[in-house]
Structure 1
Amino acid sequence: MDDRRRPDRGLRVRVRRDRAAAGALGDARRSPRLRVHASGGGGGVIRALFLTSRPLSWVNTAYPFAAAYVLATGRVDATLVVGTLFFLVPYNLAMYGINDVFDYESDLRNPRKGGVEGALLQPRYHRLTLWLSGLVALPFVVYLVVVGDPLSWLVLAVSLFAVVAYSAKGLRFKERPFLDSITSSTHFVSPAVYALVLVDAEWTPVTVAVMVAFFLWGAASQAFGAVQDVLPDRDAGIGSIATVIGPRATTRLAIAAYLVAGALLLLLPWPGILAAALAVPYALNAAPWWNVTEEESETANRGWRRFLWLNFATGFLVTMLLIAGALLG
């Protein structure tokens, strides 16, 4: 039966072989590729939006806001809850929803899309996704504007602009080498900066060092993530830091940025200084691709998958350090 005429029944999983995935997750000529398609009905819409929002990445934007807010104020209140919820789900739905809509054609040619590393959002959901991305975020943004001041509005506006500009047609910062890494890092650092500005926190040299280190970590991570997509991006005519300076130089730049980020964290007082060591696993994770060639670039997906799980371990250890600092301070 033609798929276009088949009644939609929830989540449909299609397995197919794709030679383009060779080298990314083993030999794709012998290993089937899993494509996940959310389909039809209310359940299908929810599944599609859930996959699009990248649940594994929710914590990467909510945690920086919550941690910065609590460290600066020492309190739990309504603004903390609203802000954390906003950066947990609506923010990610907007960021990745816009991305999946405008990247659909190139995602079709990318063997990584259609699972945990990115949804393959079917065209019938595109308009709905764009509308819901704005509507779901709206009440949270209104609240944050009401409780904020002009400077916090500016930081929030920059954060939301970066979300749109990274993927939206006419801007497409993700296709502008170096600006792609800067914009991507802004997605993750701006929630923390916004929290500090919202509560009028004091900007000490240590605070600045932490934010710069965080920014370097984010830029390095985006750059290393681009290495695995060099060949699909070239085929699709998409520019990136990795397509311009090459996968080898990009990997080395990412490793250097990780190490500089760690060095900056040495400025923290005890026990925060221990956070400097957390940059080392990221550098070691990327190190096997120090001499990667374009032909081997897709193998960097192994490092990227480890990176996704490394974030959870790092988040746990950072939390322990924050608790220890609070108890000792």
Structure 2
Amino acid sequence: MPPTLTSRVGISAVLGRLVHISRPVLWINTIGTGVVGMWLTGTLLDVRALPVILWLTLPFNLLIYGVNDIYDQETDAANPRKGSIEGARIVPSEARLIAWAVAVTNLPFLVWFALALPPAAIAAMLLYAGVFVFYSAPPLRFKARPFLDALSNAAYALPLVIVPLALGVAPVWPVAAGLMAWSVAKHPFDAVQDIVEDRAAGIATTAVRLGPAGVAAWSGAWWVLSSVLFALVSLPVAAVNLVIAGILVARLLRDPTPATGHRLYRLSVAFPYVAGSFTGVLLTVGIYLGRFP
């Protein structure tokens, strides 16, 4: 590993910096999805799933956001919300450290998975990692391609496929498809707050192309679809999803500006925590009572 930062500050400070870059407030999107994927197999804890869940903590989130920060240094420098809990603002000298950290934390897991897991699970993992690398990295750089940036975020649902396949169980496809639609909705909704900075940098995101009011319509339609798909498995989960999504969309439509998008971001971040916790309670109770699957 390059010694540049480790010689200047302690190992603990470097680790703390890498954790910050990995945006721990958003780990729920990977860990929570992986845990729900395990619960959807009908068991509260399967030790065979633990390596996958562990991979979905720091290693995979560092891959997502570390690669993103390396390629977004110019726009992040002009973004006032970077450098906070909402995302790091790195300097060029950190890029090499981040690249090494992504490799060191992810490659051992991928080697183990290649040796231990079924081919279908490995293929889903490679797709999962590949989509997020090329979300930020050239030549594909999905984040700079309107509509593809949102559609590529369907990959956030892949742990609902990966974990069951790793355990030799068929995924619950309506739930996986529902979370894919949910993720396609949420990406441009959260990007509304960055419209000014992205437009100034010449990045044509879905949010830049549609504008705040257009994003409200786009996200609302995808969230309705996600609720329909969730309803095929659980009406209460679908209802909670629809209520929270409705609040977000209605507030953005009331004042369709990037500033409103920024004000709503904390509620949007809380969305998966609230809906996921509700889903988790229903699943754990159902498994405990023998009513699921």
Give me the TM-score of the superposition, normalised by structure 1. Answer: 0.81
Q: 1:48 aligns with which of 1, 6, 17?
A: 17
* Alignment-mate amino acid for residue 52 of structure 2: G
Residues 82 and 238 (structure 1 numbering): CA distance in 2 closer, same or farther, change over 3 Å?
A: same
**Where does the alignment leave 5 or more consecutive residues of structure 2 unmatched?**
none
The match for 1:101 is 70
Q: Secondary structure at the match of 1:246?
A: helix
* Alpha-carbon contact 1:69-1:196 (below 8 Å) kept: yes
Q: 2:91 aligns with which of 117, 122, 126?
A: 122
The match for 1:275 is 237
- Per-residue deviation, 1:77: 4.2
The match for 1:321 is 282
Q: 2:231 aligns with which of 258, 262, 266?
A: 266
Cα displacement string for residues 213-246 of structure 1 (whole angstroms, at most 9, x for unaligned residues):
1111111110101111111100011110111122
The match for 1:286 is 249
* Alpha-carbon contact 1:229-1:298 (below 8 Å) kept: no
- Per-residue deviation, 1:80: 1.3
User: 2 CA distance for matches of 1:185 and 1:117?
Assistant: 21
User: 1 CA distance for matches of 2:97 and 2:228?
Assistant: 45
Q: 2:38 aligns with which of 69, 92, 105?
A: 69
The match for 1:228 is 193
- Per-residue deviation, 1:89: 1.5
The match for 2:140 is 171
The match for 1:201 is 169
User: 1 CA distance for matches of 2:36 and 2:130?
Assistant: 23
Q: Secondary structure at the match of 2:158?
A: helix
- Per-residue deviation, 1:71: 2.8
Give 1 or 2: higher helix fraction: 2
Structure with larger Rg: 1
**Where does the alignment leave 5 or more consecutive residues of structure 1 unmatched?**
1-7, 9-38
Give me the TM-score of the superposition, normalised by structure 2. Answer: 0.90
* Alpha-carbon contact 1:86-1:140 (below 8 Å) kept: yes
Q: 1:216 aligns with which of 159, 181, 189?
A: 181
* Count of residues in Structure 1 that have an aligned counterpart in Structure 2: 283
* Alignment-mate amino acid for residue 323 of structure 1: T
Q: 1:90 aligns with which of 42, 48, 59?
A: 59
Considering Cα pairs closer than 8 Å and 6+ residues apart, tell me whether 1 or 2 has the greater RCO.
Answer: 2
- Per-residue deviation, 1:322: 0.4
User: 2 CA distance for matches of 1:158 and 1:317?
Assistant: 29
Cα displacement string for residues 162-196 of structure 1 (whole angstroms, at most 9, x for unaligned residues):
1210111322111111111122231x211111112
User: 2 CA distance for matches of 1:260 and 1:95?
Assistant: 26
* Alpha-carbon contact 1:102-1:167 (below 8 Å) kept: yes
Does residue 1:131 correspond to 2:112, yes or no? no
* Alpha-carbon contact 1:231-1:297 (below 8 Å) kept: yes
* Alignment-mate amino acid for residue 278 of structure 2: L
* Alignment-mate amino acid for residue 321 of structure 1: L
User: 2 CA distance for matches of 1:225 and 1:122?
Assistant: 24
The two structures, once aligned, show a CA RMSD in angstroms of 1.9
Runs of 4+ with >6 A deviation: none
